[in-house]
Amino acid sequence: MRDALRVLTEDDYWLYGPNVHEFDEVVGLIQKYSDYADACVEQMLSGADVPPEFADAHVEVSSDLHYYNHLEKDLLWSFALWRLQGMFEAIMVVRYLSKKPGKPLFGLKAKLEAMAAEEYLTAEADVAELLAWANLRNLLSHSPPEHFHPVAVDRQDVEEYVTLLKRVCANWGSQRAGMHNVL
């Protein structure tokens, strides 16, 4: 490993720190690459000059290209879950916890417990959903599916997760504002 990577800390790349608006940027980025992949497949297929005797083969090749493109896009959306959870956990520590933890808080559950210890209230249903998404992200990270048999995560799944993250952050933001007003 290069020395620059070995000693890397968030101070080396955070100018303003993680922010909730970045959730939408992740969705937009993955959608951009998904759309680009679709356009590439369509360009390859539409530009093919197929003699009539190979029409059946062209249909098979087209089907295969669409299938593998779909698999690769599923992988991209799975990667979005990983990125979003990392951003969410960073936001929790940087934006909401009043003091930097003395020891690292490993995992979402530890960070949620630290939030509760600072008297942030989170609906039980939201905590359960956050932990369910974290379990899925952990499963995909630590026991990744085979390349040609990924878990079908799509944009709607990721948008559902983003909605949850935004709702929880907005709730904590309003609580934080109230905490500061009391002081």
Q: What is the pLDDT of residues 75-87, one digit of tens each?
A: 999 999 999 999 9
Higher pLDDT, 156 or 152: 156
Comparing CA positions, the residue from 171, 61, 45 lying closest to residue 120 is 171
Domain presence at residue 12:
no
Q: Quote the pLDDT of residue 182.
A: 53
Percent of the chain with pLDDT over 90: 69
Residue 154 lies in a domain: yes
Task: Identify the pLDDT of residue 46.
Answer: 87
Does any domain span residue 6?
no
Residue 153 vs residue 54, higher pLDDT: 153
The chain-wide mean pLDDT, for the chain, equals 91
In a domain? residue 146: yes
Report how far residue 159's alpha carbon sits from residue 83's, in angstroms, rounded to the nearest whole number.
Answer: 13
Residue 1 lies in a domain: no
Question: 174 lies in which domain range?
Answer: 18-182
Q: Is residue 167 in some structural domain?
A: yes
Q: For residues 119 and 5, what is the distance between their CA atoms, to the nearest angstrom? A: 36
Average pLDDT over residues 17-40: 96
Q: What is the pTM of this model?
A: 0.88
Report CA torsion sign: 119, 125, 129, 135. positive
Q: How confident is the model at residue 180 (pLDDT cuts 50, 70, 90)?
A: low
Total tally of structural domains belonging to the chain: 1
Reported as a pLDDT band with limits 50, 70 and 90, residue 93 is very high
- Name the least confident of 11-20, 24-33, 76-85: 11-20
User: How far is the C-alpha of 181 from the C-alpha of 105, rounded, in Å?
Assistant: 28
Question: What per-residue confidence (pLDDT) applies to 146?
Answer: 83
pLDDT of residue 9 exceeding 60, the answer is yes
* Cα distance between residue 58 and residue 69, in whole Å: 16
- Report d(CA 166, CA 21) in Å as an integer: 9
Alpha carbons 108 and 91: distance in angstroms, whole number? 11
All residues at 6 or more sequence positions from 88 whose CB lies less than 8 Å from its CB, including other chains: 23, 108, 165, 169
| Average pLDDT for 46-59 | 83
pLDDT at 181: 60
- 2 located within any domain: no
Location of structure tokens 């936001």: 91
Residue the block writes with tokens 């909730």: 20
Does the pLDDT value for residue 142 go beyond 70? yes
**What is the Cα–Cα distance from 42 to 162, expressed in whole angstroms?**
30
Q: Is residue 156 part of a domain?
A: yes
* Neighbouring residues of 114: CB distance < 8 A, sequence distance ≥ 6: 92, 93, 97, 101, 105
- Cα–Cα distance between 54 and 130 in angstroms, integer? 51
- Are residues 77 and 153 in contact, defined by beta-carbon separation less than 8 angstroms? yes
CA 72 to chain centre: 16
pLDDT average, residue stretch 121-141: 96
